[in-house]
Chain A
Amino acid sequence: MKILVAVKRVVDHNVRIRVRPDGSGVETNGVRMSMNPFCKHAVEAAVRLTEAGHANEIVVVSIGPKTSNDVILTALAMGAHRGILIETDAALETLAIAKLLAKVVAEEQPDLVLLGKQAVDDDSNHVGQMLAALTDRPQATFASEIKVDGQTLTVAREVDYGRETIALPLPAIVTADLRLNEPRNAALPMVMKARSKPLAVRPAVDFGVDLTPRLTIETISPPVERVAGRTVGSVSELAAIIVSDVNAMEAI
């Protein structure tokens, strides 16, 4: 089977972001960037399916500026075979991203597309589901386990009530949740080898997709900041506060 994995370069998830005072956005200049954590789980899942003999080729694709090359290299070092960078400096909406990926799916004809369930910058959680609609494939989002049995995938999904298991025929789209696996850190020889793997760079405008945003971003503002309250000295004092709070609550 052939697997396509889509990955995104985002502000590193450990960085405490700063909202620009003029409301124009989040400061990304001089900030550490890395592969979106959920995308790493998707890459890892693809590599493990290959190691288990279920897949023989992993193509990794990213959409973004030239610098997004580094997350493709990370995926290649983890075990993907070749990369595609769809280059654009524009901030694209998820629908445009999904449409570009649908073009790649049409070209590459992968049996399985793996993506992270959401990117930790815009927290959208859209693209896998949209790609599934545009390619008319079944989807399994928030996957915490993937089993392959011939042309059928059995996927455990993390849902609000616990977990659910669904089966879907290939070709299919799966988005990765955090408990799907523990992504590997590529060893140095793999990092060196990644540089010699094929990586095609193609301008986004060449795909014939309308990339015009549908939404207008009016402002981006920081949330109301919470400040430290007081520290109490004893359990009795805390209990008294809780009792008074709870008794004052409106019953719903």
Chain B
Amino acid sequence: MSVLVLAEVDNGVLSPATARIVNAASQLGDIDVLVVGSRAAADAAALLGGVRKVLFSDASLLADGFATLLADLASSYDYVVSGASSLGKDVMPRLAAKLDIQPVTDIVAIAAGNRFTRPIYAGNALETVVDGQAKHVLTVRASAFSPVANGYGAPVEALNGDLQSVAKFIAAHRTESDIPDLSTAQIVVGGGVSVGSAEGFALIEKLGRTLGAAIGATRAAVDAGYAPNDWQVGQTGKIIAPDLYIAVGISGALQHLAGIQGAKKIIAINSDAEAPIVKIADVALIGDLFEIVPQLTAELEKSGLKR
């Protein structure tokens, strides 16, 4: 069996999610990776373990162009796989319909016989499907799989052709920060609407920095303008599975809990002992976040954390 993995590239750099997608896909067959837009990312993808070769296109594409390119390549593969990222969600259903395939998306577990498990109803139910189609179009949640180890360097093959998208890219509005990638971070500190302001979120960020953590936010906090949209965690935002999630001033709406179900450990800091988040947290501290968070940050700073 052969697999084509569409790599995640962010700002010219291979996203850490790609190593996880490759690991997930390695259960399906021999892997080639397609990298679009960045030669440096293609070279990085060539170093991932288990990669047979890297296909590189220097085209600048949007969904329609990606789907056209992948549809051309798909004839040589049994599976086309990407992450369940904003790229994969944009491109893969379009590719699937082009190929007359029903895709299976947001996969969190892969079993023998093309059995795939995916969450539905915001993660409140898990659906296991058998995909009996001759060819498969899949997206996997990177956070549900561990990254593949480094390999020995696969060949990079440049693709020819001057592919263009009908839609035109105008501008990127990037949230500039040195905070770790949210969807693959080992530790995440999340803030809710009770954080009260963008200034309040500075407390969350400071705590996060102490821990080398990524920062998340609830939809309500993003809607209120306290945090940028790419920090949103939940059913419609990012799905995270860190080793440790620290939820600050987050009550725990169903839609937010959907995004953190994969967390190994949840710590809640909340003023309300009856909040839904407290009912599912491994450890809770009840009290005023504006007192607790600065104290906690100070204690952690002097604790000699190994990070």
Contacts and interface: CB of A to CB of B under 8 A. Distances in A.
Interface of A: 11, 13-14, 16-17, 19, 26, 38, 93-95, 98, 117-118, 120-134, 138-142, 144, 154, 156-169, 172, 177-179, 213-223, 226-239, 241-243, 245-247, 249, 252
B280 A226 contact: yes
B7 interface: no
B125 A247 contact: no
18 contacts: A11-B121, A17-B125, A26-B125, A129-B92, A133-B98, A138-B167, A139-B94, A162-B228, A162-B230, A168-B166, A216-B129, A218-B128, A228-B284, A235-B295, A235-B299, A236-B299, A242-B246, A245-B243
Contacts of A160: 10, 85-87, 183, 230, 238
Interface string B164-176: 0111111111110
A129 B94 contact: yes
A78 to B, nearest CB: 21
A245 B102 CA distance: 42
B229 A245 contact: no
Interface string B92-119: 1111111011111110000000010001
B64 A139 contact: yes
List 5 A-B pairs, minimum CB-CB distance, nearest first.
Answer: A130-B97, A229-B282, A129-B93, A239-B299, A214-B102
Residue from the set B122, B130, B280, B285 with the largest chain A CB neighbour count within 10 Å: B285
Interface string B150-186: 0000000000000001111111111100000001001
B129 A161 contact: no
A249 B74 CA distance: 40
Given A160-B183, A228-B280, A125 B267 contact: no
B119 A226 contact: no
A162 B231 CA distance: 8
A160 to B, nearest CB: 4
A159 B86 contact: yes
B103 A126 contact: yes
A158 B86 contact: yes
A160 B182 CA distance: 9
Contacts of B44: none
A125 B105 contact: yes
A121 B118 CA distance: 12
Nearest to A232: B285
B106 to A, nearest CB: 7
B284 A229 contact: yes
Contacts of B272: none
Contact of A161 (B10, B170, B187): B10
Contacts of A122: 120, 127
